[in-house]
């Protein structure tokens, strides 16, 4: 009886040791350390390319650039772990559906970069490395050409324009033609009274076409506002939110 108890205990200890060793195994199903490293390196390189292309010429924060670099590798790891398990895959997709960016709304370009990073991670996670590389380079190439040849406004030319006008001036459309002439885009953000209500201060966000023409624009605006105070400078915003 004692011998049998010893054999049973030894068997249980061996089974426990086997279970513990499985927890620290480098191989789970068809995931090997070689495949993991290769897919992760590919994901990181694609994330770096996406970050360089989509943050070029923009005021993107360092945290946003780091997110673009690491996001493909994170998504790739999740997809590799749930590959082949339908139930776990559905649960993970539900978890992704609960994720939201609790920060300032991003631009369309930033949202596109995030989705591209996720797509690259999905492709790497399913072992389609060639497709991931080709698709990422294709989308980044289109984005670079679009920005390089001036098909979109350069956000580095974004300015905050403040114009002081007398209360008797109908500012609704007084400066529209001048702003359209010298800017890609503009919008009136704020109207504030000053000097005991005898003056209005208008705050615009503009994307200027050519820095060399800034003085000409200010001169024409001064003719409209009675030579009152005008200021034009770079906007002060907290870009670390995204």
As a whole number of angstroms, the distance between CA 95 and CA 90 comes to: 9
Domain 155-234 fold is Alpha-Beta Plaits (3.30.70)
Cβ pair 165, 202 in contact under 8 A:
yes
Strand order in the sheet with 158-166: 183-194, 199-208, 158-166, 230-233
What pTM was estimated for this model as a whole?
A: 0.55
Q: Tell me the per-residue pLDDT of 19-30, one tens digit each, with 9 for 90 and over.
A: 555 544 555 556
* pLDDT at position 178 over 60: yes
User: How many CB atoms are located within 10 Å of the residue 91 CB?
Assistant: 12
Domain ranges of the chain: 31-148, 155-234
pLDDT mean over 76-96: 67
As a whole number of angstroms, the distance between CA 163 and CA 203 comes to: 7
Q: Tell me the per-residue pLDDT of 42-71, one tens digit each, with 9 for 90 and over.
A: 999 999 998 888 877 666 677 778 888 888
> Quick one: pLDDT at residue 91?
65
């Amino acid at each position: 009886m004692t011998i049998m108890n010893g054999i049973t205990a030894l068997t249980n200890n061996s089974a426990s040791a086997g279970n513990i060793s499985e927890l620290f195994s480098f191989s789970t199903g068809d995931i090997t350390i070689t495949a993991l490293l290769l897919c992760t390196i590919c994901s990181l390189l694609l994330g770096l390319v996406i970050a360089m292309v989509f943050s070029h010429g923009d005021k993107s924060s360092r945290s946003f650039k780091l997110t673009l670099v690491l996001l493909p590798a994170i998504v790739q790891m999740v997809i590799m772990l749930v590959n082949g398990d339908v139930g776990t895959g559905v649960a993970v997709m539900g978890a992704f559906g609960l994720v939201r960016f609790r920060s300032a709304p991003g631009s369309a370009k930033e949202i596109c970069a995030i989705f591209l990073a996720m797509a690259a991670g999905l492709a790497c996670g399913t072992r389609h490395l060639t497709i991931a590389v080709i698709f990422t380079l294709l989308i980044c190439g289109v984005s670079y050409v679009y920005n390089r040849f001036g098909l979109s406004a350069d956000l580095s030319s974004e300015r905050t324009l403040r114009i002081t006008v007398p209360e008797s001036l109908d500012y609704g459309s007084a400066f529209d033609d001048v702003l359209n002439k010298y800017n890609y885009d503009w919008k009136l953000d704020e109207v504030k009274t000053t000097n005991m209500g005898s003056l209005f201060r208008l705050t615009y966000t503009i994307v200027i076409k050519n820095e060399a023409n800034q003085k000409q624009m200010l001169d024409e605006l001064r003719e409209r506002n009675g030579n009152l105070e005008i200021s034009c400078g770079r906007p002060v915003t907290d870009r670390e939110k995204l």
